[in-house]
Amino acid sequence: MRHMFNQGGIIRKEHGPVAVYPDLADIGRILRNASERLADFKIVMQGMLVYVKRVLGAYCEFRDFVTEDPWYGIKGPTTVLNYAYKQENMPLFNLLQENSRFGFWGKPPSYEEVSQQSLGKTFFNFDDPAFGEGISRFLSEQFPHRSKYEKE
């Protein structure tokens, strides 16, 4: 049986049904996309492996101090990060020097104050007394659509 290729990647069998297959350009795109997805997956998996390695390492190192009582014993995140710092010499960052956060006014700031202080910042946090019209307006503009978890 003889096969004939024509534009669009259509393979037509002589004396048989017509089937559509991707052409070479489509196959190239599919392979590139799969490669990019695999690269992303690999990065995620590497991050997960590092995390699991840190958690298990910290648990093994400090298991004598582990308890299920939340008010007694070591705390998970602190222990894991301290262990990781000790083992891997992770770099530490001073958040004040990094100047990447803003918030904590003690009283409700104006919208202009919030907008001005947010320029170039990565993290936003605020204390309860500061929540007011200025912060509410700023958040409404930054996140115009309600989260599926927010109540009306």
- Per the CB < 8 A criterion, the answer to whether 45 and 57 are in contact is no
Q: What is the mean pLDDT of residues 91-103?
A: 84
Q: Which one is predicted more confidently, 48 or 20?
A: 48
**pLDDT over 90 (residue 107):** yes
3: confidence class by pLDDT, cuts 50, 70, 90: very low
Q: Tell me the CA distances in angstroms from 97 to 89, 92, 94, 123, one per residue in order.
A: 20, 11, 5, 14
Q: What is the mean pLDDT of residues 88-106?
A: 84
* pLDDT of amino acid 108: 93
- pLDDT, averaged across the chain: 77
Q: Which residue has the tokens 């096969």?
A: 3
Residues 17-35: pLDDT tens digits?
444 445 566 666 767 777 7
Identify which of 1, 3, 34 has the alpha carbon closest to the alpha carbon of residue 19.
3
Q: Which one is predicted more confidently, 2 or 39?
A: 39
Sequence spans of domains, the chain:
17-92, 96-141
Q: Give the alpha-carbon dihedral of 52, 53, 59, 61, to 10 degrees.
A: -170
- Per the CB < 8 A criterion, the answer to whether 11 and 5 are in contact is yes
**pLDDT over 80 (residue 11):** no
**pLDDT over 80 (residue 7):** no
φ, ψ of residue 5 to 5 degrees: the values are -100, 140
Residues 66-95: pLDDT tens digits?
777 777 767 677 788 888 888 888 788 887
- Per the CB < 8 A criterion, the answer to whether 101 and 123 are in contact is yes
Assigned token pair, 50: 């590092």
Question: DSSP string covering 68-136, please?
Answer: S-TTSS--HHHHHHHHHHHHH------HHHHT-EEE--SSPPPHHHHHHHHTT-SEEE--GGG-SHHHH
The pTM for the full model equals: 0.45
* pLDDT of amino acid 27: 64
* pLDDT of amino acid 5: 42
